[in-house]
Every structure is written in structure tokens, then in C-alpha cells.
């Protein structure tokens, strides 16, 4: 039997069982599936050696348990950091025109989006945008011109584009 077929059979045999075991540790089935899948991916790269172990499933279980523990430690550290930082600043209500603008921006090429956001929404001067993007100022101006024109064509209400990206 080829090593790939052997590993596929091993994977099919142990996956559900290991997910069940790790779910009891993590308390979250989706996290357990991710952890076991990662452990099995690591096993696949070592399969030529692991296949000769008496119980290769034990190696995968140990790796999965270590990954689960690492994930729990990471979440605890993140929670502690978030508690130290305090509550986030209030988020302003979403305006329908903001949604329309975001959707229209997504249709533009990345270079135009970058120029529009940096210049009009963040208020950077053209020279600073050029330095940030490492392109000439003339290139930034061309991207701004093309981007504004494309946005105006995308948005039904031309004032939406003008309000957000300067008239």
C-alpha cells in the first residue's frame, strides 16, 4: 500500500475519534476539528517515520493536545491584554452611504482604493500618499482621478462620492 493511501486510511480512522477527545478538552467542536486537522497535517509530513510507531494515533493526540493548550494560553493572554486596555471606544452608527461607499471601493483596483482611502478618508497630502505607497506623486494623482471617476459611476448618488472623497 502506498504511503499516501496508508495515511489517508489512518486519517479516516482516527479523525472523528480525536475530534471527540479534543472537543472534551477545548469545549468547542470547531476548535477541536481545527486542532486535530493541524496535528494530522503535521503527521502527514512525518508519515514515513510515524507509520512505523506502535500507535501513531498517540503522537497525533499529543500534538493535538499541545495545540489545544497553546490556543488556550493564547486566548488567556489576549483576554488579559483586552482587560488591561479597557472597553473599546464607541463605534459610530453605520451610515447607509458608508456601506455604499465601501461596496463601491471594493470594485476598484487595489492601487486606486489605497490612494483614495489614504488621501480622502485619512487626509494625507498627495506627497505623503506617494511616500507611503512608494510611487511618484503623479501616479497618486492619476489613481485619485481614476478612482473618483469610477466611484462616481458606481454610486447612484454622486453626492455620496463627493461627500466622502472630496468634490
**CATH number of the domain where residue 138 is located:** 1.10.10.10
Instruction: Tell me whether residue 112 is in a domain.
Output: yes
Query: What are 36-76's pLDDT values in tens digits?
Result: 999 999 999 999 999 999 999 999 999 999 999 999 999 99
Task: Decide: pTM greater than 0.75.
Answer: no
Closest CA to 28 of 62, 82, 71, 57: 71
Q: In which domain, by residue range, is 101 found?
A: 96-164
124 and 66 belong to one structural domain: no
7 and 81 belong to one structural domain: yes
Q: Output the CA torsion sign for 101, 103, 108, 110.
A: positive
Query: What are 125-139's pLDDT values in tens digits?
Result: 999 999 999 999 999
Instruction: Tell me whether residue 148 is in a domain.
Output: yes
The helix (run of H) or strand (run of E) holding residue 18 is helix 3-26
Instruction: Tell me whether residue 91 is in a domain.
Output: no
C-alpha cell at 38: 493541524
The helix (run of H) or strand (run of E) holding residue 121 is none
DSSP per-residue letters across 130-164? HHHHTS-HHHHHHHHHHHHHHHHHH-SSHHHHHHH
Query: What are 99-132's pLDDT values in tens digits?
Result: 888 888 999 999 999 999 999 888 999 999 999 9
Q: How many domains does the chain have?
A: 2
Amino acid at each position: 500500500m502506498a504511503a499516501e493511501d496508508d495515511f489517508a486510511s489512518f486519517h479516516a480512522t482516527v479523525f472523528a475519534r480525536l475530534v471527540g477527545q479534543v472537543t472534551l478538552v477545548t469545549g468547542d467542536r470547531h476548535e477541536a476539528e481545527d486542532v486535530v486537522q493541524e496535528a494530522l497535517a503535521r503527521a502527514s509530513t512525518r508519515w514515513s517515520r510515524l507509520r512505523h510507531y506502535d500507535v501513531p494515533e498517540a503522537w497525533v493526540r499529543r500534538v493535538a493536545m499541545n495545540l489545544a493548550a497553546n490556543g488556550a494560553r493564547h486566548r488567556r493572554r489576549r483576554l488579559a491584554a483586552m482587560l488591561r486596555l479597557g472597553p473599546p471606544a464607541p463605534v459610530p452608527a453605520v451610515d447607509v452611504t458608508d456601506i455604499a461607499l465601501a461596496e463601491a471601493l471594493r470594485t476598484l483596483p487595489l492601487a486606486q482604493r489605497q490612494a483614495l482611502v489614504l488621501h480622502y478618508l485619512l487626509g494625507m497630502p498627495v506627497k505623503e500618499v506617494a511616500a507611503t505607497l512608494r510611487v511618484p506623486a503623479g501616479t497618486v494623482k492619476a489613481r485619485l482621478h481614476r478612482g473618483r471617476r469610477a466611484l462616481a459611476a458606481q454610486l447612484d448618488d454622486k453626492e455620496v462620492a463627493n461627500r466622502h472623497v472630496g468634490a
